[in-house]
Structure 1
Amino acid sequence: MITYKYSALSPDGDKVNGVVNAIDEYTAVEKIRADCPIVLKIEPVKKGGIYDILGADIGGKKVDAKALSVMCSQFAVIIGSGISIEGCLNMVSAQTEDKKLKKMLSMSAEDVSQGTSLATAFEKNYPQLPPLFIETVRAGEMSGTLDASFNNLYEYYKRSNLVSQKTKSAMAYPMFVLAVAAVVLVIIMVKVMPTFTSMFKDFGAELPTITVVLIAITNWFQKGWMLIAGIAAVLFIAFKLWTHNEKGRLQWSKLTLKMPTMGKINKLNASQQFSTSMASLIGSGLTVAQALKVTSKCIDNYAIAKEVSSMSEKIETGAALSDVIKSSEFLPDVLKEMTGVGERTGELVKTLQTVGAYYTQETEYATQKMIARLEPTMLVFIAIIAGFIVLAIYLPMFTMYNYM
């Protein structure tokens, strides 16, 4: 839950200042307008301090997409069978293994029994739930299609979890190889090389250049490891500070879109997030403007998220989605054209679902292709380092044997 401070005008025209807790800015404005029809200014309360920056994502309560997907499928089936919301919550709670979701469902059942709406109960008892989940449930309640909304959420989170698992699986081997190589290199530098260095010094003969270089690197590493760690820490903190403010975060997100290979993957991923989120939200009954606001919270890349958020403002002035999406700097032309076709034919949800499936496949293919290129590159790099160390150690040993 985010805390916002605001200035607004009451029905009597008096200026009112205050704070409100909400899952996002859109929800905060809705809460303020319940008492004050005109909102003059709203902004999140800043939580300064370097510890907030370093610990922002550490120890958080991130929702497990797989558990959320299973929960949504259970809701869709049980609600469709005609059981009450309270009974549904108790049944799903009994079947859910995820402790956080189980606790949230039990507490939500109590709130719903006292007259609280399902979306409000979820938002209250588990603030870390994604905005897309909360708003889709809220739209389903308002339109009377809660079972369809949960079914849309099930499909969305099942697909998201599948993409995430495939990416993690593809990256597991390269990351393991890098980790092992780093550990072995540190052991060689700290434990093995000092022994050979003292032996070479006792030998007294002139050492090959490659061995001298390795000894110099080893000595520097042993004496300067604290300096290396300090520089790494400073760079990490500087990066976190830079990306924590609006300007730096925007610059970094734009930079990630221009990176070789990774830039393409980031654009494809944002395209599938946009398509699948919009399809789920519009299919659940949200207006296009509302769907765009929520979708902007679901896109990982901040630059594209800002673009999508600005689109909702243009839609509210009466512009068509097909027109405002054309102004996007980063979304691909295929997505823009297909969105226009879907809007003109009245099949926007179905078109976005098709486009979302296409970009999901493209994201997976691009990621696998990158991993396929990365693995041999890493092996060649590791082989060069290993070859350098082996030559640096064995060349002077051959010289020693000649003198014996």
Structure 2
Amino acid sequence: MSMTDQQQLDITRKLLTLTKSGLPLLDAVKLIGIKSIEEGLTTGRSLSVIMDQCGFYPFCVGLIRSGEATGDLLASLESINLHLDKKIKLKKKLKKSLTYPCIVGITACLVLFVIFQWVVPTFEVMFSNFNAALPWPTRLLIQYSQWFQAYFLYACLIIFCLTGLIALYWKYSANFQKKFDRLMMLLPFWGKIRIAAAISQWGKSIATFHQHGIPILDAIKETALNSNDWVIYQFCIELKNYLSQGWSLSESIRMTTHGTMLMKPEHLQLIRVGEASGDLSYVLDVIANQEEEALDQLIDQLSQSMEPVLMIFMGLIVGTLIIALYLPIFEMGQIL
């Protein structure tokens, strides 16, 4: 069983509010009305174990476990609330920026479908009465329309089957997932968004764990296990290996396979300063906040740049089709 980000945020936010006001944990859970957590607590299980069974993220479970060990559950709940709140806001912002391109793309597909399925055949019947050769753009458009009517269903079936095969291959092939995640980070613009999001989550996760008294090696291990990106997972595993050998975090990052791609030189410099001053968690938090701001800017740029590009694209498609359809009529008008 798994829970959505919003469900986890709602539960932890209510727990934080009630326990902050002085209510004991069990009374707070009873007041919220979550039977599964209430039953677990009354039978003597810890909150972290119950949350794990309820489908909370390993990151949240790890922080609760740390809060139970240190006796500072409130700080853990606050960290979880902050983490989930930022995650939800980021998803909403990214979804909002992609909504318009998706709508335009679907509209373009519908327009092309209508034109190839009904409009072009109507013009084709009309053009068959012309006693003159049609211009090459019109002939090409008619050929595309004929191909579309003949093979549209077959093309849809092939696309559906390929999508299913790719989804199955993705599910059962970790190698494919690794290559795909790396490819996503190498793309010109989208890659910057992926890297900024990944490093923001990476820095925030390690900083949060470290601030709760978890050693840096264990914090990196937990971050690796909580990551949903293979590049970050491999990055954390390599870091853990180098740190175990006695290297500093900044040197370990430099020696990893993806370190130079993920981390900027100024970030490495900040980490060196944090290591020298003994305030590494603060520095990692600063890096995470910087990348979060960069991510916001990149998403804003994406939404602002996509709108005019898509409008031009739609205009070119519709304009080209109209010219191709009406060109024979214009030529006949000039002859007459």
- What's the TM-score once normalised by structure 2's chain length? 0.90
Checking the alignment, whether the CA contact within 8 Å between 1:137 and 1:149 is kept in structure 2 is yes
2:86 to 159, 165, 169: 159
Structure 2 residue 208 is matched with structure 1 residue 277 = no
Partner of 2:262: 331
1:392 to 295, 320, 324: 324
Partner of 1:92: 32
Query: 1 CA distance for matches of 2:70 and 2:333?
Result: 87
The aligned runs of 1:103-122 (5 Å cut-off) are 105-122=34-51
Query: 2 CA distance for matches of 1:79 and 1:349?
Result: 26
- C-alpha change, 1:402 and 1:236, in structure 2 (3 Å) is same
Over residues 287-342 of structure 1, what are the superposed CA-to-partner deviations in whole Å (9 max), with x where a residue is unaligned?
Answer: 22222122124434312221113323444455443332232323213333323322
The aligned runs of 1:289-300 (5 Å cut-off) are 289-300=217-228
Partner of 1:23: none
Structure 2 residue 114 is matched with structure 1 residue 172 = no
- Displacement after TM superposition at 1:200 (Å): 1.3
SS of aligned partner of 1:217: helix
SS of aligned partner of 2:129: helix
Instruction: Say what the alpha-carbon RMSD is for the aligned residues.
Output: 2.2
What 5-or-longer segments of structure 1 have no aligned partner? 2-60, 94-104
AA matched with 1:87:
D
- C-alpha change, 1:344 and 1:77, in structure 2 (3 Å) is farther
Structure 2 residue 301 is matched with structure 1 residue 369 = yes
Over residues 120-148 of structure 1, what are the superposed CA-to-partner deviations in whole Å (9 max), with x where a residue is unaligned?
Answer: 11112x23x21101111111111111100
1:357 to 284, 289, 303: 289
Partner of 1:21: none
Partner of 1:102: none
- The structure carrying a bigger strand percent of its residues is 1
Among the aligned pairs, what percent are the same residue?
24
Partner of 2:149: 222
Checking the alignment, whether the CA contact within 8 Å between 1:243 and 1:252 is kept in structure 2 is no
- C-alpha change, 1:77 and 1:323, in structure 2 (3 Å) is farther
Partner of 1:101: none
What 5-or-longer segments of structure 2 have no aligned partner? none
Return the structure number with greater relative CO, CA threshold 8 A, min gap 6.
Answer: 2
Aligned length: 331
1:266 to 184, 194, 197: 194
- C-alpha change, 1:87 and 1:166, in structure 2 (3 Å) is same
Query: 2 CA distance for matches of 1:144 and 1:353?
Result: 23
Checking the alignment, whether the CA contact within 8 Å between 2:52 and 2:58 is kept in structure 1 is no
Query: 2 CA distance for matches of 1:349 and 1:312?
Result: 16
- C-alpha change, 1:91 and 1:280, in structure 2 (3 Å) is farther
SS of aligned partner of 1:350: helix
SS of aligned partner of 2:201: helix
Query: 2 CA distance for matches of 1:82 and 1:174?
Result: 48
- Displacement after TM superposition at 1:194 (Å): 1.5
- C-alpha change, 1:263 and 1:137, in structure 2 (3 Å) is same
- Displacement after TM superposition at 1:204 (Å): 3.9
Partner of 1:83: 23
Greater shift, 394-403 or 331-340, is seen at 394-403
AA matched with 1:92:
I
- The structure carrying a bigger helix percent of its residues is 2
Checking the alignment, whether the CA contact within 8 Å between 2:97 and 2:302 is kept in structure 1 is no
SS of aligned partner of 1:119: helix
Query: 2 CA distance for matches of 1:341 and 1:71?
Result: 38
Checking the alignment, whether the CA contact within 8 Å between 1:119 and 1:135 is kept in structure 2 is yes
Greater shift, 308-317 or 357-366, is seen at 308-317
- Displacement after TM superposition at 1:117 (Å): 0.4
Greater shift, 335-344 or 286-295, is seen at 335-344
The aligned runs of 1:21-60 (5 Å cut-off) are none
2:273 to 341, 345, 350: 341
Query: 1 CA distance for matches of 2:112 and 2:290?
Result: 42
- Displacement after TM superposition at 1:375 (Å): 2.3
Partner of 2:52: 123
Query: 1 CA distance for matches of 2:189 and 2:126?
Result: 47
Query: 1 CA distance for matches of 2:116 and 2:214?
Result: 60
Query: 2 CA distance for matches of 1:107 and 1:64?
Result: 16
Query: 2 CA distance for matches of 1:273 and 1:91?
Result: 32
Query: 1 CA distance for matches of 2:242 and 2:218?
Result: 12
SS of aligned partner of 2:214: coil
